[in-house]
Amino acid sequence: MSKRASVTGYAIPQSRIQHIIARQGYCAVCDGSPKMAKSTHNPPILSADHRELAIQQELFITSPYSSGSPLFLPNGTRIFNTLTGFLRSKYERYGFQEVISPTIYKKSLWEKSGHWENYAEDMYSVTGRGAESASEGKQVGKDEEYGLKPMNCPGHCLIFASKKRSYRDLPIRYADFSPLHRNEISGALSGLTRLRKFHQDDGHIFCRPSQIRDEISKTLEFVKETYNLLKMGPYRLTLSTRPKDHFIGSMEEWANAESALKSSLDASGETWTINEGDGAFYGPKIDIIIKDSNDKEHQTATIQLDFQLPKRFELEYQAPAPELEQKGLTTRDGELLAVEGPVTPVLIHRAVLGSVERMMALLIEHHNGKWPFWLSPRQVIILTLNDKPATLNFAREAQKQISIGNEMFGTNTPIAVDIDDSPRALGKKIAVAKSKHYSIIAIIGDQNVAHGRMNVDISWLLSDAEMPAKSMLNDIRSEVQPMDKTNVRKMTVSPLELRKVLQVLQALRV
């Protein structure tokens, strides 16, 4: 693999970095990765910067010992796990099975997939030791070469090929959060938006040609549900069609694939545009474009049809009337149906968030510290009025009771609860807690200890919550004691009562 020794001292102008090809967009065999969309607006006034906000909120740090590979702190890890946990919670509904694939593969696999020929400069090579047997006739002995994976698709092809498949088994949908590594030039690295080590909510759908339309529609529905929840919108969709010259597959295959994508886009009800001739050489694709806090557009989610990789890996399933099956056609002719044969599946690459780290960068800037409760790394803080042992013990016990995950609502994610038992005045503690954007501030003093209850203000909950959440919160609120009869949004609650309220919010993702 070629080494780019000259990269170390290479300086790229900021204007160039912003438009450089964003290879973390999604998996592609030889097409590189999706490009960052160019904004059609005038240069915006800079606002939030996720790198600065990350320092304030203690989300992640960087180190010269791991350029392009951030070290996530507990707060940032909580956001990461919450995002991926949400996607996992939807996999059963959308029919995905999660898998875990290796981080490194032999060079011969990357040659088979086409990555070594077209993507080698962006891959990390690793030399193995102790290998004694040949691999695909390419490598022998202790110096066998490996490559860190830049994408998951070859591994998922190996899983599909591990057993015989029937048309009755399809579609088969695999999901994978395994870390990916890409040897980006140092001058292009930027916060969480351009990394050397990152994660994708990677998904690969192996389906029959006749199933393409339904699978694309379901993926667009998944994207819509996710982005509505994250309040990351409005977004737009683009359809990239067959290149004029360099492409594989028949004209008929391309026409059917593009027709299926167009039908799915029309059915989505979203606005979409066409990029003529901008598809990957192995198939057309749909890209989802959103804007950051500076009104600049970024590609996040993507849906790509791939005709090449299944052929390279000789993937197949058995089906009646295989020639018609391969064209996505059906028949009732008994003679044709009596003959079964091998058919090459269609591979759909899909990502809903794209790079999880890049989506985190956009969310950090979008919320600017004021996270929705379910995503917030700083959900609850308990402030003590004194340092008496009874007060401190009650605070710690309350922390334990509130933080427990809720199996009833299908989430074991604990609620994040911190304690400020410093000797500072209460007013100072409240000011600090608000500056750190804690969602809930609970106060404990002598009277609270005596009655086993805390003083809590839930005003923001009732104003921000959606109607289903408001209804449940009002029901719960009626069961607890108001601190002030003129303002029932301020409550005196036990730790268990507060946990009940917050678990509703957690489950409804308010």
What tokens appear for 22 in the block?
């964003």
Secondary structure string (H, E, C) spanning 330-364: CCCCHHHHCCEEEECCEEEEEEEEEEHHHHHHHHH
What tokens appear for 112 in the block?
């088979």
Nearest residue to 204 (alpha-carbon basis) of 110, 305, 123: 305
3-state secondary structure at position 60: strand
Q: Which helix (H) or strand (E) holds 240?
A: strand 236-240
Kind of pairing between the strands at 481-484 and 440-444: unpaired
C-alpha distances in Å from residue 255, one per residue of 38, 138, 211, 259, 418: 28, 37, 15, 6, 57
Q: What is the rounded distance in angstroms from the CA atom of residue 365 to the CA atom of residue 368? A: 5
Task: Work out the end-to-end distance of the chain between its first and last CA atoms, rounded to an integer number of angstroms.
Answer: 48
- Each residue's pLDDT expressed in tens, for the chain with a length of 510 residues: 433 333 333 333 333 333 333 333 345 444 444 344 443 344 444 467 899 999 999 999 999 999 999 999 999 999 999 999 999 999 999 999 999 999 999 999 998 988 888 778 889 988 876 555 445 555 555 567 899 999 999 999 999 999 999 999 999 999 999 999 999 888 888 889 889 999 999 999 999 999 998 999 999 999 999 999 998 878 889 999 998 877 777 888 888 888 888 988 998 888 899 989 988 877 899 999 887 777 777 889 999 988 889 999 999 999 999 999 998 889 999 989 999 999 999 999 999 999 999 999 999 999 988 899 999 999 999 999 999 999 999 999 999 999 885 544 444 568 999 999 999 999 999 999 999 999 899 999 999 999 999 999 776 665 555 555 556 556 555 555 544 444 445 678 899 888 888 887 887 887
Total-model pTM: 0.83
Q: What is the rounded distance in angstroms from the CA atom of residue 68 to the CA atom of residue 192? A: 8
Q: Where are the alpha helices (DSSP H) in 20-126?
A: 50-57, 74-94, 107-113, 115-119
Q: What is the rounded distance in angstroms from the CA atom of residue 59 to the CA atom of residue 78? A: 9
Q: Is residue 24 a contact partner of residue 353, using CB atoms and an 8 Å limit?
A: no
Q: Is residue 299 a contact partner of residue 25, using CB atoms and an 8 Å limit?
A: yes
Tokens 């604990």 found at: 414
- DSSP state, residue 133: S
Q: Is residue 190 a contact partner of residue 336, using CB atoms and an 8 Å limit?
A: no
- Residue 464's pLDDT is 56
C-alpha distances in Å from residue 318, one per residue of 165, 222, 278, 281, 340: 6, 29, 33, 27, 6
